[in-house]
Amino acid sequence: MKLLGKRGLGILLSFMLALSLPLCASAADAAEGTPAKPAKGGWKYVKGYKLYYDKNGKLVKDVSRLIGKQPSYVIKVNKKKNCVTVYAKDGRKGYIIPVKAFPCSAGNATPITTARTPSKYRWHRLNGNCYGQWCTRIKQGYLFHSVMYGRTTNSSLSVSNYNKLGRTASHGCIRLRAGDAKWIYDNCKRGTKVIIYNSANPGPLGKPKAEKLPSWHRWDPTDPTAKSRCRKKGCH
């Protein structure tokens, strides 16, 4: 201290400060690319759910392939948020694994209820002289089904109703994208429990966005039987 004197100490301090600043900046840069969640992925219990994170710590929003086909599922419909989440069973802990989520259109008449699906139909006639694909009855006149078609052909889709997916629009049924209606039809056996509830929280996987279609796109891009139409047009 004696050697440097007050002025010398000041110079030394500002020199050290100048040196340390770029160090701080580079440390902050490195932190920016660091995920908020621990870098190691895998299954984690979070707020009563069992969730899967990838190696970057990002929530995986579809674990259907990861866990494979399950013997049973529970389907929960958030009527208020127009969001469906399918759950798989985690042993004795029950149906706490959210498998995948779908945007939907419920209706004001959709009942708040718990039911078990009694039947399914590949095509089914709906109210108002139109048809739905991959229909699963929830109870009474309430079904999961694709957005409606004018005929029983995959190229007569009601595009205006497709573009309402994610909003309340039906007479009470739960409308889905065709691919999502098919997933329920293919994977959820008769007798699957369906819980329809209201919450401001869409669900643990959030609510996926449904794509808006142009008026000429009179088929559902998620419909595997209509894939060739998209291929021909080069639109999907």
Which residues have a catalytic role annotated? 145, 173
Q: Which stretch binds Zn ion (CB under 5 A): 42-50, 72-80, 154-162, 226-234?
A: 226-234
Q: Residue 236 Cβ, how far from Zn ion at the closest point, in Å?
A: 4
Q: Please state the closest distance from residue 224 (CB atom) to Zn ion, in A.
A: 13
Size of the site for Zn ion (CB under 5 A): 4
Does residue 236 bind Zn ion (CB under 5 A)?
yes
We find the least distance from the C-beta atom of residue 225 to Zn ion, in angstroms, to be: 13
The dihedral over CA atoms of 125, 130, 131, 135, expressed in degrees to the nearest 10, equals -70
For residue 235, state whether it binds Zn ion (rule: CB under 5 A): yes
Contact letters for Zn ion, residues 167-206 (x by CB under 5 A): ----------------------------------------
Closest distance of CB 40 from Zn ion, Å = 39
Stretch 24-83 residues interacting with Zn ion (CB under 5 A): none
221 sits near Zn ion (criterion: CB under 5 A): yes
Residue 162 near Zn ion by CB under 5 A:
no
Indicate the residue type of 128.
Answer: G
DSSP 8-state symbol, 61: S
230 near Zn ion, rule: CB under 5 A: yes
Our CB check for Zn ion shows the closer of 115 and 230 to be 230
Q: Is 208 in the site for Zn ion (CB under 5 A)?
A: no
Beta strands in the chain (DSSP E): 42-46, 49-53, 73-78, 83-88, 97-103, 114-116, 120-126, 130-139, 142-146, 174-176, 193-197
Q: Which is nearer to Zn ion, 204 or 221 (CB)?
A: 221
Q: What are the residue ranges of helices labelled H in 33-143?
A: 64-67
Q: Which of residues 93-112 bind Zn ion (CB under 5 A)?
A: none
Residue 115 vs 159, nearer CB to Zn ion: 159
Q: Are 68 and 85 in contact, with CB atoms under 8 Å apart?
A: no
Does residue 76 contact residue 188 with C-beta atoms inside 8 Å? no
User: If residue 8 lies in a helix (H) or strand (E), which one and from where to where?
Assistant: helix 5-32
User: Least distance (Å) from Zn ion to the CB of residue 221?
Assistant: 4
Q: Are strands 83-88 and 73-78 parallel, antiparallel or unpaired?
A: antiparallel
**Dist. CA 233–CA 114, nearest whole Å:** 42
Distance CA(179)–CA(215), nearest Å, equals 20
Contact 146, 72 (CB under 8 A): no
Total residue length of the chain: 236
Q: Which residues bind Zn ion (CB under 5 A)?
A: 221, 230, 235-236
